[in-house]
Structure 1
Amino acid sequence: MTIQWYPGHMEKAKRQVTEQLKRVDAAVELVDARIPFSSRNPMLDNILQDKPRIVVLTKSDMADPDVSAQWLRFYEQQGAEALTLNALQSKGAKPVVDKAEKVTAPIFDKMKRKGIRPRAIRAMILGIPNVGKSTVINRLVGKKTAKTGDKPGITKAQQWLKVGNKMELLDTPGILWPKFEDQMVGYRLAATGAIKDERLDMEDIALYLTGLLKERYPSALMERYRLEELPADDRALFIEIGKKRGCLQAGGYVDEEQCAALILREFRDGKLGRLSLETPADHEEKKEPDDSSKSGGPSDINSRDEETGP
């Protein structure tokens, strides 16, 4: 299955980000701590160019802490400023503000030398859909300003928000990119909920997820679904989970649609524990050619919605 979702309003949001870039001192880029590589929009490198940037790994309470530590070391080696953030339990905005002050110091030193009066840091907050941006903003601002939800596409327009007296944030809608060159990126985005479920073959995504978790976190599957052993075949594992959780239809057959929805919901809700779907090592290895189109799986989903939404 080829996964793609790039509705028309994302192209509009991309243009708005480009237009507003000259008004900000830095960018705060949010990525999902469970998939820090797959949830980074590659278009941002071209859009932001040399604009100072902070990378914030959101939903860190749902990710494997050891893997998150690997990602922070990876970013540090790349010379990037990065931090993890648990939006529901974070101690306010200080960690992000501190990083923002660090990356924008050259800008404000230059302004000071020119005799320009100090002002708050102006930063643009960016991320893909459902990365937790609205929740992070509410934590930084200190009140419920942005709408939150577990579905992509909650934020539809740009707005300026004050973070104490040290920072002003320009909120922007979540933006994906037109084509996933590596289809595994699409699968990881789909598994974490960054792509609307209505555009996907949920059973295919759930099969991918259970196969990956069987390889990396077998004990999490065994404990959650009370399995004494894990079948070698991914589909057999999927069916066994359906039986254990009572996802049955007439005749005792597993309702695969219901089973897929259950697996994805429990993963997204953190019911299987703190899990990460990729490590820095995954993306340092040489990728094999993508032959997913030869798999004989479900028909392609290559959606470019014409909605222009606000």
Structure 2
Amino acid sequence: MTIQWFPGHMAKAKREVTEKLKFVDIVFELVDARLPLSSRNPLLDQILQQKPRLVILNKADLADPEQTQKWQNYFENQGFAALALNALENQGTKKIVAKAKTVLAAKFAKDKARGIKPRAIRAMVIGIPNVGKSTLMNRLVGKKIAQTGNKPGVTKGQQWLRSGSELELLDTPGILWPKFEDAEIGKKLALTGAIKDQLLHLDDIALYGLDFFTRYYPGRIAKRYHLTLADEELPLPELLMLITEKRGFRDDYDRGSELVVVEIRQSKLGPFTLDRYEEAGAFYESRSN
């Protein structure tokens, strides 16, 4: 299955981000804590270059905490400041300004030496769709200004928002890259809701999700759907049909697929991390050393 999604407003946003970089001190790059690598846009490294950056692992409440800590360490070892938080419940957001001040300490000291008066930090908030950018900004500002929605593609334009006296935020639309060279990345993004469901075959995504949980979190499927551990060893299509029947959908395979995908997204099967540090992060870290 090949997934491609690059609406026109995203191409425009890429150009605007490039143009607006000179107006900000730091970039807040949001990633989904459930897939910290796969939810990073590789185009951003080209666009942002040496601009100071804070990587924010949002939705940490939905992710495997052990994996989240490993990924936070990974980003810091790559030279980025990093924070894990849950913007929806406003957990950890108060640490952002302090972390940004640490990143920009050298710049502030240089400005002070030149006689430049202190001012609010100007930050650009950026990330792929549905990582919680608008939710985070609303928490920082303290009221609902940025439009939010539990679906990709809600934010369409750019706007400045003020967060107290210490922070000014520049919102940007979510930017996906034109083509996913790795089909598995597309499936991961689809399973967590970063791509519109209308563009997907939900049965493929459901099967991918079931396969992931049987391999990395054995027993959770059985517990959620009142199955046996032996049932988890069934061929995936049979397992999905069994879940469909158990939920009273008879042979409505499509409805069963939707149920599995939605419940995984809602963490009904428990917190999880699709990007396994041991498989991806350790590999990339070893290559950079």
Residues in 2 aligned to 1:284 and 1:160: alpha-carbon distance in whole angstroms: 34
Are the equivalent residues in 1 in contact too, given 2:74–2:281 (CA < 8 A)?
A: no
Which residue is 1:257 aligned to? 254
CA offsets per residue over residues 28-55 of structure 1, 9 Å max, x none? 0000011111000010001000000000
Q: Is it true that 1:37 corresponds to 2:37 in the alignment?
A: yes
1:284 Cα deviation from its structure 2 partner: 4.7
Which residue is 2:264 aligned to? 267
Please, what TM-score do these two structures have when normalized by structure 1? 0.88
Q: Is it true that 1:105 corresponds to 2:102 in the alignment?
A: no
Are the equivalent residues in 1 in contact too, given 2:85–2:93 (CA < 8 A)?
A: no
- Report the AA paired with residue 124 of structure 1: M
Residues in 2 aligned to 1:265 and 1:114: alpha-carbon distance in whole angstroms: 55
Residues in 2 aligned to 1:192 and 1:142: alpha-carbon distance in whole angstroms: 27
1:281 partner SS: coil
1:37 partner SS: coil
CA offsets per residue over residues 179-215 of structure 1, 9 Å max, x none? 1121111100000010011111111111111111111
Please, what TM-score do these two structures have when normalized by structure 2? 0.94
Residues in 2 aligned to 1:91 and 1:68: alpha-carbon distance in whole angstroms: 15
2:203 partner SS: helix
Higher relative contact order (CA 8 A, sep 6+): 1
Which residue is 1:137 aligned to? 137
> Structure 1 regions of 5+ residues with no counterpart?
249-253, 288-310
- Report the AA paired with residue 263 of structure 1: V
> Structure 2 regions of 5+ residues with no counterpart?
285-289
Which residue is 2:127 aligned to? 127
Which residue is 1:308 aligned to? none
Summarize the alignment of residues 66-105 of structure 1 with structure 2, pairs less than 5 Å apart.
66-91=66-91, 93-105=93-105
- Report the AA paired with residue 279 of structure 1: R
Which residue is 2:244 aligned to? 242
Residues in 1 aligned to 2:243 and 2:214: alpha-carbon distance in whole angstroms: 12
Residues in 1 aligned to 2:154 and 2:185: alpha-carbon distance in whole angstroms: 22
Q: 1:280 to 1:222 in 2, by over 3 A?
A: same
Residues in 2 aligned to 1:280 and 1:65: alpha-carbon distance in whole angstroms: 12
Question: Greater CA deviation, 101-110 or 35-44?
Answer: 101-110
Residues in 2 aligned to 1:98 and 1:267: alpha-carbon distance in whole angstroms: 34
Which residue is 2:25 aligned to? 25
Which residue is 1:233 aligned to? 235
Are the equivalent residues in 1 in contact too, given 2:71–2:281 (CA < 8 A)?
A: no
Which residue is 1:307 aligned to? none
2:88 partner SS: coil
Question: Greater CA deviation, 205-214 or 272-281?
Answer: 272-281
Which residue is 1:176 aligned to? 176
**What is the number of residues matched between the two proteins?**
282
CA offsets per residue over residues 96-139 of structure 1, 9 Å max, x none? 10111111112222211111111000000001001111111111
- Report the AA paired with residue 239 of structure 1: M
